[in-house]
């Protein structure tokens, strides 16, 4: 489905990003794998990706850093010749009641989860326009749709990312470029690793499908959104939440 395309995926060493990288590789895409300070996880992901018979290169870069991301995009284009797909997946949480949330925890989450996708989209904007093609996929969250207690910072970034997605879609649609957001519910990754025992059971009871999702429950949607089959879908926000927000 993605033969000959190159995908730049942020935060792709673990979790949902790794699953997207692997499924895109299985669909024939070469992978530019971004991570930040997680060389062991990145190496592991790299080995799995090249075993699928595609090219992969690893870029250690903080998505919140405007200039470093500009260099990463330039380096990726130099290494692969082109970028066709951008997946803004990197994200962090710093949960707390707003009452106790520090300014630093608010700012850090904004920088990674919202400014990160802006940085990458901005650095690829002209290139995608010139190519008259490109797919941008942003990992938002159901928290961005509904808000969530103890996640004022995180929910604000994900709501902002949904608006960024729609704006990008409107600005670039005339050139055949798509931009869509995926809103996962609760997915079993490092991000939700604190959900254990009783509290995990409680969460699962509140999900109509009665289980947390897996990264693989999310990843094939990203493959589809990046494929030619989705070329007329843009500005869309799709939940992958086992029915949580019905």
Note the residues at the interface with ligand NAI (CB under 6 A): 10-11, 13-17, 34-36, 38, 62-64, 89-92, 112, 139, 141, 184, 186-187, 189-192
Question: Minimal CA–CA distance to 58: which of 37, 79, 33, 77?
Answer: 33
Q: Which is nearer to ligand NAI, 131 or 236 (CB)?
A: 236
- Is 154 part of the annotated catalytic residue set? yes
CB of 15 to ligand NAI, least distance (A): 2
| Nearer CB in complex with ligand NAI: 5/35 | 35
Measured from the Cβ of residue 203, the count of other Cβ atoms closer than 10 Å reads 16
Least gap, CB of 174 to ligand NAI (angstroms): 28
CB of 232 to ligand NAI, least distance (A): 25
In the complex with ligand NAI, the residue whose CB is nearer, 130 or 211, is 211
Residue closest to ligand NAI, measured at CB = 15
Closest CA to 90 of 70, 111, 76, 74: 111
Exposure of 191 in the CB half-sphere (CA atoms within 13 A): 24
| Residue 30: CB minimum distance to ligand NAI, A | 19
- The two tokens of residue 229 are 């089959």
Residue pair 121/54 in contact (Cβ under 8 Å)? The answer is no
CB atoms within 10 A of CB 67: 9
User: Quick one: 17 or 134, whose CB is closer to ligand NAI?
Assistant: 17
Residues, the chain, total? 246
**What residues are annotated to the active site?**
154
């Amino acid at each position: 489905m993605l033969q000959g395309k190159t995908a730049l995926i942020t935060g792709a060493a673990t979790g949902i990003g790794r699953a997207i990288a692997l499924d895109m590789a299985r669909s024939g895409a070469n992978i530019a794998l971004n991570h930040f300070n997680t060389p062991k996880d990145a190496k592991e992901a790299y080995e799995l990706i090249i075993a699928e018979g595609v090219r992969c290169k690893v870029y250690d870069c903080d998505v919140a850093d405007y200039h470093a991301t500009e260099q990463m995009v330039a380096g990726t284009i130099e290494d692969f010749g082109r970028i066709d797909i951008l997946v803004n997946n990197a994200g962090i949480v710093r949960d707390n009641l707003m009452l106790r949330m520090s300014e630093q925890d608010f700012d850090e989450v904004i920088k990674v989860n919202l400014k990160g996708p802006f940085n990458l989209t901005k650095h690829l904007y002209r290139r995608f326009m010139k190519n008259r093609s490109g797919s941008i996929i942003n990992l938002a969250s159901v928290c961005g749709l509904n808000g969530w207690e103890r996640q004022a910072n995180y929910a604000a970034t994900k709501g902002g990312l949904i608006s960024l997605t729609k704006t990008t879609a409107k600005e670039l649609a005339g050139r055949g470029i798509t931009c869509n957001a995926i809103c996962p519910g609760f997915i079993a990754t490092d991000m939700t690793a604190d959900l254990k025992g009783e509290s995990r059971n409680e969460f699962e009871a509140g999900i109509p499908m009665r289980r947390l999702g897996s990264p693989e429950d999310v990843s094939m949607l990203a493959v589809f959104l990046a494929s030619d089959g989705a070329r007329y879908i843009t500005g869309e926000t799709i939940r992958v939440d086992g029915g949580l927000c019905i």
